[in-house]
Amino acid sequence: MQPFDASSVSRILGVPFSNADFFQTALTHRSYLNEHRGYTLDHNERLEFLGDAVLELVVTEYLYHHFPNPEGELTSWRAALVNGEMLSRVGGDLGIEPFLLMSRGEAKDTGRSRQYLIANAMEAIIGALYLDQGYEAAKNFILRVIVSRLPHVFDQKLYADPKSLFQEQAQTRLGITPSYRVLFESGPDHDKQFTAGAYLGEELIAEGMGNSKQEAQRFAAKNALEKKGW
């Protein structure tokens, strides 16, 4: 973690800034404010809320105009482009992680929680760009760094729901329908973390973590597919 450097952040994002405060806010996690009482900017949750809406609109608009496929398929493709896993990967590739402003405790956690911070910051950056330069600038950024990954989504079948795949394979191979249980809950209400287990009968096959029970189950199913070699 390093002090906010507007020129460096502008360079890695590939966009100019009119008001750098928007982007500093986008990289500020709630926990940072707890340790820096004199900090004059807000944390990034409101920008994240805005950026999420802009991201979904841009991706939806692109898919609608470029593919004649039915709604169900477009919805799956959109989900593969805007989910936390994809956004975390994009943020990692851009190199935003060193610029995240967070508490010392958060800085020590380099696991799944860090991926969520990066994904949330990416949404907040989109919100910041929308406020700073408008819809077209945000759209061009999203097309360049996120929608450009659509061929990879198709190639790796990232649009396929892991829970559906795991159920299909388990029923075909073993005649068993998987089940899921929440194993742990942690964190404050605004940043809950869930750990879910994917089971075949009473056998725990794999675990997964997420910001919601559904997301944790999805990661558990994905991990179970990998563990089973399916």
- Residues identified as active-site: 52, 123
The CA distance from 144 to 139, in Å, is 9
For residues 164-200, b (16+ Cβ closer than 10 Å) or e, as one string? ebbbebbeeeeeeebebeeeeeeeeeebebbbbbbbb
In 3D, which of 14, 186, 163 has the Cα closest to residue 79?
Answer: 163
Tell me if 219 sits within 8 A of 208, measured CB to CB. Answer: yes
The CA distance from 61 to 136, in Å, is 13
Q: How many CB atoms lie within 10 A of CB 42?
A: 14
Place of tokens 């802009």: 54
How far is C-alpha 103 from the geometric centre of its chain's CA atoms?
20
Enter the DSSP assignment of 101. Answer: B
In 3D, which of 88, 93, 90 has the Cα closest to residue 116?
Answer: 88
Tell me if 197 sits within 8 A of 176, measured CB to CB. Answer: no
